[in-house]
Structure 1
Amino acid sequence: MENSSELTWFKLTAYSDMGSMRPFYFTLLILMYFSVITFNVLTIGLVIFNRRLHEPMYFLLCSLFVNELYGSTGLFPWLIHNMLLDVHHISRFHCILQIFCVHTYASIEFTNLAVMAYDRYVSICYPLRYIEMMSPMHMYLLIAFIWIYSFGKFSVLLSMTVKLRLCGNVIAKVYCDNYSLVKLACEDTTLNNVYGSFTMVLSVGLPLILIIYSYAKILNICYSSSKQSQQKALNTCIPHIMSLLNFAVGCLFEVAQSRFNMQHVPLILRIFLSVYFLIICPILNPIIFGVKTAKIRESFRRFCIKLWP
């Protein structure tokens, strides 16, 4: 074993039992990554090139879809690359880069969904002040905050992880994550764990509080409104709720298989649970919003008519 201060690579051991199914998984990953890029780029393009969609909600959707591309690109290329190899090593630099990408993706996703809930709250509860409260300048500032806040917050945690002395280089997953690296440390990690918990509260706890508050206010307004208004409000909120639940369940899968002993669960299922939030969510989100959002659906229909008249 290399000296901890000289570790230049890590071994990802979760690939080892895939055997003859490797070509199938490789093909499946190629198709899924192609789907992520196609669905998200197409939806971003519809918003950018259609002036009818130049509204705060759709700009926030663009931010969400850009994040799907960002998070998936932090994972898919390495998964696809490693499917072709018999030795599954990743350099220290690329491992750190992947950790930063995966964790900031998760933070941006939660924060973006929280701001989207706030946008729906303002739209439904303060319709006359919506243009003022969600002006283009406010929207640009909110989107900048979503990304800068997530990058800055996790950069501190990662800088603490990078300084740890490591006594091993084996990671029992198909990608690098911060928790797996901290477990390899041969020194006290109390400070890392405390700040990691604090970061988790900032990344998940605060966004969830804002989301719950926003929807509590929306439900309160809906109860005192006409059935037509209730239906309209629900139609605008359902895609967001579906996306939130999908991502939250994916994150719970990852936490469960990372923190608890799940050796009784088949390896391929454990791998799927660990990458669900990085693979399934980026595929489903543009579909959910595309199908459930009338303006995006109509824009896509017009795009298809122009493409195939």
Structure 2
Amino acid sequence: MEIVANVSGSFVLLGLVEMEMQKYLYFPFFTVIYLFTLMINSIIVLVVLKEKTLHEPMYILIASLVFNGIFGSSSFFPKLIVDLITSSKTISHSECLIQAFCITTFALLEMSTFTVMAYDRYLAICQPLQYSTLMTNAKVLRITATCWVTAFIFVFITILMAWRLSLCGNKINSIYCDNMSFIVLSCLDALVNRIYTAVVTSSYFSITILVTVFSYFRIFIVCLRISKESRQKAIHTLVTHLLNFSIFLMGFLFVFLRYRLEAVNLPLMAHVLLSVTPLVFPPLLNPLIYGIRTHALKMKVVQYLQILNEGPKWPNFQMKLSSKFVKIVKHKEVH
């Protein structure tokens, strides 16, 4: 096999080759999803930052979650959209490393934030009298900062190890780069990279999943003791949250495991669809599930959108998106 230097050259994204025939269908579809995702996530972040009444732990965590959604979407969608319209199917070595860094960081931060949010709700529901002292704004900001720093350190080491690999071949079985792409293309057995990736990922996800499951289980137990109407609302909220969490988790676990399931001969399009799931659905659904279903935040978002719609310089396309989002918000159940 021909060795591809790890400091130059480019990779072919086979997923883009697969999508070439229908690129004029994919291009407007992904463009609308990306713009809508940016808009609804950005509005929630701005509203939380602007409104002092929303400077509370729960809203800070929601803002952190949707901001991470902006980060994750922007590490994936812009290049995909440009590649579709220009029929480009390659990515340079440095761009591939940067994209792998951003996407992996997004995934770890998403898991961390999901976990902290679940624990926050556990304290609020199961220990309401101690909540104000156990979970303050300062503590939430420190926890959030710790999550970002920890994720950056873990991923930076991972990408640095991938950068040092000598690579054979240049074809990536996806529409974006991830760490395992470099390990699979390594000329030698990248045992150290595999062990480090497996240990960090499995440890990170095991801890976050255990804390999340424990928190929601305790919340569920408390829900059984309250009134029927309150129990139905609480359980509906829990199921919705867990569904969104599960969608992200299953998609990311597939990305982590798909290179290890070499005996399973999945079609390329199946690889594409499953690998984009954690990058598309959580940033799109998080504002709806965690944002506008919260009464105080919902009201502020509606007010903010109505003010924007009344502005004379608001572009027609964005006005239509904003108007549709207002309708969605107003029809959501208030909790």
Same fold (TM over 0.5): yes
Secondary structure in 1 aligned to 2:97? helix
Q: Where does structure 2 lack aligned partners over 5 or more consecutive residues? A: 311-335
State the Cα deviation string for residues 222-263 of structure 1 (Å, max 9, x = none): 334444664564466455323312212322443465443565
2:101 aligned residue: 100
Deviates more, 1:283-292 or 1:71-80: 283-292
Q: What residue is the counterpart of 1:139 in the other structure? A: 140
Instruction: Give how far 1:152 is off.
Output: 1.0
For 2:333, the equivalent position in structure 1 comes to: none
Partner of 1:82 in structure 2? 83
- The question of 1:295 aligning with 2:296 is answered yes
Give runs of aligned pairs for residues 202-217 of structure 1, distance below 5 A: 202-217=203-218
Aligned partner letter, 2:98? L
1:66 maps to amino acid = F
Query: 1:70, 1:232 → 2: CA distance?
Result: 31
* 1:154 corresponds to 2:152: no
Change (3 A) 1:306 1:153: same
Q: Is the 8 A contact 1:257 1:273 kept in 2?
A: no
Residues 109 and 148, structure 2, Cα contact 8 Å, conserved in 1: yes
In structure 1, what is the equivalent of residue 113 of structure 2? 112
Query: What's the CA shift for 1:87?
Result: 4.2
User: Which residue number in structure 2 is paired with residue 171 of structure 1?
Assistant: 172
Q: CA deviation at 1:274?
A: 1.3
1:223 is aligned to 2:212: no
State the 1:203 CA deviation. 2.7
Aligned partner of residue 193 in structure 1, secondary structure: helix
CA distance in 2, matches of 1:71, 1:120: 24
Letter in 2 for 1:141: R
Aligned to 1:40: 41
In the alignment of these two chains, the number of paired residues is 308
Give the Å deviation of 1:135.
1.1
Is the 8 Å Cα contact of residues 242 and 288 (structure 1) preserved in structure 2? no
Alignment map for 1:184-199 (pairs within 5 Å):
184-199=185-200
How far the C-alpha of 1:303 sits from its partner, in A, is 3.1
In the alignment, the residues of structure 2 paired with residue 66 and residue 292 of structure 1 have an alpha-carbon distance, to the nearest angstrom, of 17
Q: Which amino acid aligns with 1:275?
A: V
Q: Is the 8 A contact 2:292 2:301 kept in 1?
A: no
Q: Which stretch shows the higher mean deviation, 163-172 or 239-248? A: 239-248
Contact 1:235 1:292 in 2 (8 A): no
Q: Does the CA-based 8 Å contact 2:6-2:163 persist in structure 1?
A: no
Q: Deviations over 1:43-92 (max 9, x none)?
A: 11222222332210110011001100101111111111211334422111
| Alignment partners' CA distance in 2, 1:53 and 1:206 | 29
SS of corresponding position for 1:188: coil
Query: Matched residue of 1:40: which SS?
Result: helix
- SS of the equivalent of 1:128 reads coil
Counterpart for residue 202 of structure 2: 201
Amino acid in the other structure paired with 2:187 = C
1:296 positional shift: 2.3
Q: Which runs of 5+ in 1 are unaligned?
A: none
What secondary structure does 2:130 align onto? Answer: helix
Instruction: Summarize the Cα distance change of 1:20–1:220 in structure 2 as closer, same or farther, 3 Å threshold.
Output: closer
Matches within 5 A, 1:14-53: 14-53=15-54
In the aligned structure 2, how far is the partner of 1:222 from the partner of 1:17? 48
Over 3 Å counting, the alpha-carbon distance change for 1:91 and 1:237 in structure 2 is same
Amino acid at match of 2:301: F
Distance 1:158 1:5, change over 3 A: closer
TM-superposition CA deviations, 1:250-300 (whole Å, max 9, x none): 2244346544356553x4443122111111221111122244222222223
Amino acid at match of 1:117: A
Q: Is the 8 A contact 1:4 1:168 kept in 2?
A: no
Aligned to 1:283: 284
Contact 1:122 1:130 in 2 (8 A): yes
Residue type of the partner of 1:80?
I
Q: Percent identity?
A: 31
Retained in 1: the 8 A contact 2:11–2:170?
yes
